[in-house]
Chain A
Amino acid sequence: MAIDLQVLAPEAIILAFVLITLFIYALGSKRSTTLMGWLALAGVVLAGAASLYYWGDTAPTFQGMVAADGYGLFANLVFLLAAGLAILMGLEAVRRFDLPAEVFVLVLIATLGMMLLGSAVNLVAVFLALEILSIALYVLTASERDEWRSLEAGMKYFILGGFASAFLLFGIAMIYGATGTFSLAEIGAKGGSLWALRDAPLLAAGLVFLLIGFAFKVALVPFQMWTPDVYEGAPSLVTAFMSAGAKAAGFVALIRILETAFPYWRAEWGWVLAVIAVLTMSWGNMAALGQRSVKRMLAYSSIAHAGYIVIGLAVAARTGYASVLFYLICYTLMNVGAFAVVMAMGRKGEPNEDLDDYTGLIRRKPGLALAMALFMLALAGIPLTAGFLAKLYVFSAAVVEGYAWLAAVAIVNAVISAYYYLRVAARMFFGEARAEAAPVHVSAPLGFVVALTSLATVFLGVYPAPLLEFIQAAIRPLVGF
């Protein structure tokens, strides 16, 4: 079987830039940090260009390990968007929080893992990609080395992540035991007849374990316990990157696996996922209500959003998947934007994450406060923002596919969530800042991230049509029409 390197061009580019930046790091001095950041960004941009260039190529390659089909290439764009924004935030973070220059390398490695995960069509490749991604994230989480919260978060994430990976690997083994293959397509072909006989406990258990592995990665109840601690402890740029990029990677891969290897899963597992969706969003929203730390609130909010996204998965079908992809992009934009603001508020040793630190921000930093208010509105799902349409498409997919009750629960949840999102906005606009409030500084790259994400949030909220068409084309190879 021929090996077609071209198909992996985006991944190859990222890998090349991993090596380049590492090389510079090995040679370099303190000043080379910024250079590494810009190089990493260049790699991300080039990989994005390559993904667009190879758009439409569908054949699986590397002995049927990966497929650079439209679906995978589209997913690349989501990951690269998150990575690019994280690197821009990193350019500021290495200075402000004294993060090591490796964060750029690690972000690239994690991105490589995500991209492979998005195009993997073989369970071995899935596992490898997931580990590349996860291990890079463990280190990233702990990268603020002189901050105990960061170290603790890294350690917890590592231990629990290892636990979840074991489940995943065990699941893969059982699936292999039942079907004799790792290839998603072949599992789909063979598993169908086994499943029909209702005599495939090994396969069913394998699917459960696989689901658990992914549920941990994307933080679904009851596999989400690690999320608040890890998200709060990790440096903001890492949290933004994880909550947007890694979560997207998990969902993208899960959709591909379920749709290709277990096309019959929906009949029996659709409602299980629906229940998980309800639990996840309710848990996230209710726990977020009482938070005083904006960053921790965003961590819980990220759980809630994973719950909304699972709705799209539970209803399956083409509209459901399309709505998930749209949601992932919108969520990446508004969430990374919000974390960029959180980062802008903080200083070394002084995270300034409490609600009180945001009081009266409008008078201190009007631009930043307006952007944050926009992100809060978007996360709450207020019309004319991307967040509204994202929710609308997911919920309407649920209604169309006969899960109206699920949409109703989700809407109640969205109402609850408005309380804690709007509380941040209200604090910023009404109320006097504390006299001793630390000055807020926004550097150029950080300002760029905030400006870009807020503009894109509004733009997608008003004019989503081109992106939706793009998404429709992207899921065609997956669902076949």
Chain B
Amino acid sequence: MLNYAWLVLIFPLVGVIINTFFGRYLGKRGAGILASAMVGLSFVGAVWMFAELLGLEDRVVTRPLFDWISVGDFNVQVKLLIDPLSSVMAVVVSGVSFLIHIYSIGYMAHDERFVRFFAYLNLFVFAMLTLVLAENLLVTYVGWEGVGLCSYLLIGFWFERKAAADAGKKAFLVNRVGDVGFALGLMMLFVTFGTLSMSQVLEQAMVVRLMPGVATAIALLLFVGAVGKSAQIPLYVWLPDAMEGPTPVSALIHAATMVTAGVYMVARTHMLFALSPTALTWVAAIGGLTAFFAATIALTQHDLKRVLAYSTISQLGYMFLGVGVGAYAAGIFHLTTHAFFKALLFLGAGSVMHALAGELDIRKMGGLRNKIPVTFWTFLFAALAIAGFPGLAGFFSKDEILWQTFANGKTLLWALALLTAGLTAFYIFRLVFTVFYGESRVDKKVAAHIHESPKVMTAPMAILAFFSVIGGYIGVPKILGGSNWIEHYLDGSLGWHAPEAAIAETAHASAGTEWALLILSVIVALAGIGLAYVFYVRRTDLPTRVAKSLGGLYTLVYNKYKVDELYMAVIVKPLRAVGKFFAESVDGPVVDGIAEGIAALVALIGRGLQALQTGLARNYALGILVGAVLLLAYALVR
């Protein structure tokens, strides 16, 4: 299969082509099934690849596909890199995508642009897998921009709604800021190492002695790209707005896969980060801060999907915290489990919307537990998983990050992350209790039509629920009697450290400490859940009273710290003013003047040439004669 790894990429692309050109002949059902089947085949291929890799001794395999660009010394080979990291990622991406494709058949059934939706989704999967499997960073970049494009198209999928179109634009523009950083990072990488091939960079990173600032600059520029794509401070503002897209898109692109590309990229280029402790500290700090900051906003929002969006930002912060303390495997582990439970949370939200005719305000829900039981139970499992309930997926992965942070000596960040874990448990169970428990606050008209979603939607949810429960067992830590399989497996890709061991050696904390921290985080998680129970089931008057007593602080958090307004005032408006100035007083008279002058000159010459084009054969013959005389003259005097 490894020789046919390209098939994994090709299937979704075939889906795009067929659905784009012939989709309208297939009908809705046909187009949906085709798109899902293509991603399904991709998934089978990815699993096969993964299985085959397990059986190998040397688990880093490259398969050249073709030379893309070859100009002088600049050579870009399109090559697949199949190693533990990319194989895990490919399985997660294609697997979750497959389930969400199937879910979408039900969810989008009444949309008139159904076929286009699936073509976009397939294109997304193709771009994402390109990003994941690329050996050359330039090819990664192609995939990176490709997923960005699909994200833009799908956020604005219902572009008739101004909010959706604006959100698409916002996502695109904010990502541009990050992408500039990424592009600059790639250029600097190329200038420094003379190559963008991952394996060659790795080889050279081992021997080349860089000026200290260079590694930091490259790593930080790449990280700017990751910050944009993975919605971290300060570029996270696009992700909450991205919820304007269809819910399966939020689940797939804006929770499970694309937004994790930044984490993946940092892990992929970890050799560069390993060379620069400064850069790593930045990654960890930004990750930890984002995790906490976004979790506080999630506490106060009333829009079901926005709470989940802020939760995604917060969880991505955890992943960056993990990779930032050098625990790349822990970051990827959390990425994997998060893909399961967060995708499920979104699909659950979609199912709730489906039942309530598109309602998103949790204040108009309540008591849905018995009316849509499958949605309730799957949502509950996902909530338990993200809250870090012992034994479920999120528990193992989040705890691994917390432990590694602590062991790395970053006590302050660890405390912040622990606090965030409590907030996470609280806000997610705030959702569970307000949506599914208590009195129904649903509109009378809507209440009459509440119904469980069709099987085509609930089946994928059930499967994701299963993985949200057991997904953590690939990484059970030693003290709980596990072997932390995922970490050892990923070691094949991520086990590389800087020659002089730039990272401080993991402090050797005792097993006793690890146990203590473990129990502490369980207590925090349970406390969060319990508090949510008290607030939203027992004493439903408490939330308003607490909010009142907090006064201004609550309003500030409720208004998302007014960051959007801040950006508007500090960045957008001044830029617009500058732009206006240049447009009116520089571009118009000066630049346009020059450009139009040149254009006019060229057009004038063109008219002159046309005047020579008389249409008379004798004049043309004269031209030949003039040319002949000139050439002959040169031949004789040369």
A residues whose Cβ falls under 8 Å from a Cβ of B: 155-156, 159-160, 163-164, 167, 201, 204-205, 207-209, 211-212, 215-216, 221-223, 225-226, 228-229, 268, 272, 283, 286-290, 392-393, 396, 400, 416, 419, 462-463, 465
Contacts and interface: CB of A to CB of B under 8 A. Distances in A.
B603 A290 contact: yes
Given A286-B602, A286-B609, A465-B66, A212 B624 contact: yes
Given A225-B613, A392-B71, A396-B72, A208 B628 contact: yes
B509 interface: no
Given A286-B602, A287-B613, A400-B72, 8 more contacts: A155-B617, A156-B620, A211-B631, A212-B628, A221-B627, A225-B612, A272-B634, A416-B602
B563 interface: no
Interface string B229-250: 0000000000000000000000
Interface in B615-638: 615, 617, 619-621, 623-624, 626-628, 631-632, 634-636, 638
7 contacts: A159-B617, A208-B634, A222-B627, A228-B613, A286-B605, A462-B68, A465-B70
A463 B66 contact: yes
Contacts of B613: 225, 228-229, 287
Chain B residues touching A, majority SS: helix
B610 interface: yes
A272 B67 contact: no
Nearest to B608: A286
Given A160-B620, A283-B609, A289-B602, A201 B628 contact: no
Of listed B71, B72, B612, B619, residue having the most chain A CB within 10 A: B71
Chain A residues touching B, majority SS: helix
Interface string B590-621: 00000000010011011101101101010111
A458 to B, nearest CB: 12
A449 B535 CA distance: 70
Contacts of B624: 160, 163-164, 167, 212, 216, 222-223, 225
A298 B54 CA distance: 57
A223 B624 CA distance: 5
Contact of B627 (A159, A212, A400): A212
B626 to A, nearest CB: 6
A462 B13 CA distance: 15
B627 A287 contact: no
B67 A465 contact: yes
B632 A396 contact: no
B120 to A, nearest CB: 18
Contacts of B602: 286, 289, 416
Contacts of A201: 635-636
B620 A226 contact: yes
Interface in B119-160: none
Interface of B: 66-68, 70-72, 599, 602-603, 605-607, 609-610, 612-613, 615, 617, 619-621, 623-624, 626-628, 631-632, 634-636, 638
Contacts of A159: 617, 621
Contact of B632 (A205, A419, A462): A205
Contact of A222 (B71, B607, B623): B623
A268 B623 contact: no
Contacts of A212: 624, 627-628, 631
Contacts of B606: 286-290
B304 to A, nearest CB: 39
B620 A225 contact: yes
Contacts of B607: 290
Contact of B615 (A229, A286, A396, A416): A229
A159 to B, nearest CB: 5
Contacts of B609: 283, 286-287
B20 to A, nearest CB: 11
Contacts of A211: 631
A412 to B, nearest CB: 10
B127 to A, nearest CB: 15
Of listed A221, A288, A289, A419, residue having the most chain B CB within 10 A: A289
Nearest to B627: A222
A204 B635 contact: yes
B635 to A, nearest CB: 4
A217 to B, nearest CB: 12
Contact of A160 (B599, B621, B638): B621
Contacts of A465: 66-67, 70
Contacts of B70: 465
A358 B432 CA distance: 58
A208 B635 contact: yes
Contacts of A400: 72
Closest 6 CB pairs of A and B: A225-B620, A222-B627, A286-B606, A204-B635, A287-B609, A289-B606
Nearest to B622: A225
Contacts of B638: 204, 268
A426 B612 CA distance: 29
B627 A290 contact: no
B615 to A, nearest CB: 6
B619 A225 contact: yes
Contacts of B623: 222-223, 225
Contacts of A164: 624
Contacts of B627: 212, 215, 221-223
A431 B606 CA distance: 26
A186 B268 CA distance: 61
Given A290-B606, A396-B71, A272 B619 contact: no
A229 B609 CA distance: 14
Contacts of B617: 155-156, 159-160, 226
A292 to B, nearest CB: 12
Contacts of B634: 208, 272
Contacts of A462: 68
A406 to B, nearest CB: 17
A204 B636 CA distance: 8
Contacts of A288: 606
Contacts of B71: 392-393, 396
Contacts of A419: 599
Given A160-B620, A160-B624, A208 B612 contact: no
A205 B620 CA distance: 22
B637 to A, nearest CB: 10
A397 to B, nearest CB: 10
A211 B610 CA distance: 25
A300 B382 CA distance: 65
Contacts of A463: 66, 68
Contacts of B620: 156, 160, 225-226
Nearest to B598: A416
A289 B610 CA distance: 10
Nearest to A287: B609
Nearest to A158: B617
Contacts of B632: 205, 208
B620 to A, nearest CB: 4
Contacts of A215: 627
Of listed A159, A287, A463, residue having the most chain B CB within 10 A: A287
Nearest to A399: B72
A205 B612 contact: no
Given A163-B621, A207-B635, A290 B628 contact: no
Contacts of B599: 419
A394 B66 CA distance: 21
A250 to B, nearest CB: 15
B635 A290 contact: no
A178 to B, nearest CB: 12
A137 to B, nearest CB: 16
Nearest to B621: A163
Contacts of A268: 638
Contacts of B610: 287, 290
A463 B68 CA distance: 6
